[in-house]
Amino acid sequence: MFYKESLGEKVFNVANIIFLTAVTLMGILPFLHLLAISLSSNSAAMAGEVYLWPVNFTTVSYQYLAENAEFFASLWVTIQRVFLGTLLNMLLIIFTAYPLSRSNKQFRFRTIYVWFFVVTMFFGGGLIPTYMVVRATGILDTLWALILPGALNVFFMVMLLNFFRNIPKELEEAAIVDGAGHWTMLFRIFLPISLPSIATILLFTIVNHWNSWFDGILYMNSPANYPLQSYLSTLVTSINVQAISVEELSMLQQMGEKTLRTAQIFMGILPVLLVYPFLQKYFIKGITVGSVKE
């Protein structure tokens, strides 16, 4: 016997589909608009003639970005930063969250250590003291200046710590009975169970490193060491008209500042858009798993 939906259920489903479709379009259409501007001529973009489809289609903005050696140099700096920074962040987050998730009987003064980290979420040394520390350690104008100051994200560490504490104690007790040590419990029990939470933190960490731009300008004395976002943020204001060739001048006249900025936005978000689909299911589960209580 087949279940027959009532009139109220049909109305609700139709209204739900319309609402979710509208929300989806609200998220997609602005990106399509920016993409259309970046692929349109400068005159059409400045005249406000571009909506969801390019007008006078051209890829000159992307050509200008891609043909600069500085662009690829900054891209390589960002790739190194994302790889090394994310690796260091995840190692420190995991290896700090696990011991702090133990009980006070297992780890003496655990509460004191937790509050030691939590206080740093609300009180910081400030911009100038942080810069002085980076300079005093000798890592100024190096890749490590972009990685080490934020090596441990306390907020993500607290998230993972609380996730670890919600893992059933019976699993840990059974592992201890079988002779498992802390390393075995961490890598064979805690990490596999916490995969959704770890994937969520991993995604946020990658995005934070990729989008960060201010620290590149702050800690890098040479523009050649800028990460991609720092390079893109200074690209328009650093154009030297007297030093460019006739071809480049013609290219600048065709694209303009508006189309160049929209091209920068897409070059900045493209890697994240490529990574997100692979982590989406873990991302959604990592957010909702803590909301279900028995």
| Percentage of residues in the chain having pLDDT higher than 90 | 24
Instruction: Quick: pLDDT tens for 90-111.
Output: 999 999 999 998 888 888 888 8
pLDDT in the model for residue 22: 93
The whole-angstrom separation of Cα 60 and Cα 58 is 6
Instruction: Quick: pLDDT tens for 39-81.
Output: 888 778 888 888 888 888 888 888 877 777 787 888 899 999 9
pLDDT in the model for residue 32: 87
The whole-angstrom separation of Cα 179 and Cα 185 is 10
pLDDT at 289 over 80: no
Average pLDDT over residues 189-202: 87
Instruction: Quick: pLDDT tens for 205-252.
Output: 988 998 888 999 999 988 889 998 888 777 655 555 444 555 555 555
CB 184 within 8 A of CB 175: yes
pLDDT band (50, 70, 90) for residue 122: confident
pLDDT in the model for residue 143: 93
Instruction: Please give the DSSP secondary-structure letter assigned to residue 190.
Output: I
Q: List domains and CATH numbers for the chain.
A: 59-291 (1.10.3720.10)
If phi over 0 gives left and psi between -120 and 50 gives alpha, with beta otherwise, what is residue 142?
Answer: beta
pLDDT at 178 over 70: yes
pLDDT in the model for residue 292: 41
Average pLDDT over residues 194-211: 87
Question: What tokens were used for 286?
Answer: 């990592």
Average pLDDT over residues 173-189: 87
Helices (H), the chain: 7-38, 42-46, 60-66, 69-100, 110-122, 127-136, 144-147, 154-165, 169-177, 182-185, 191-193, 195-211, 214-219, 228-235, 246-288
pLDDT in the model for residue 34: 84
Torsion of CA 215, 216, 220, 225, to 10 degrees: 160
272 vs 91: which has the higher pLDDT: 91
Question: What tokens were used for 32?
Answer: 């399509």
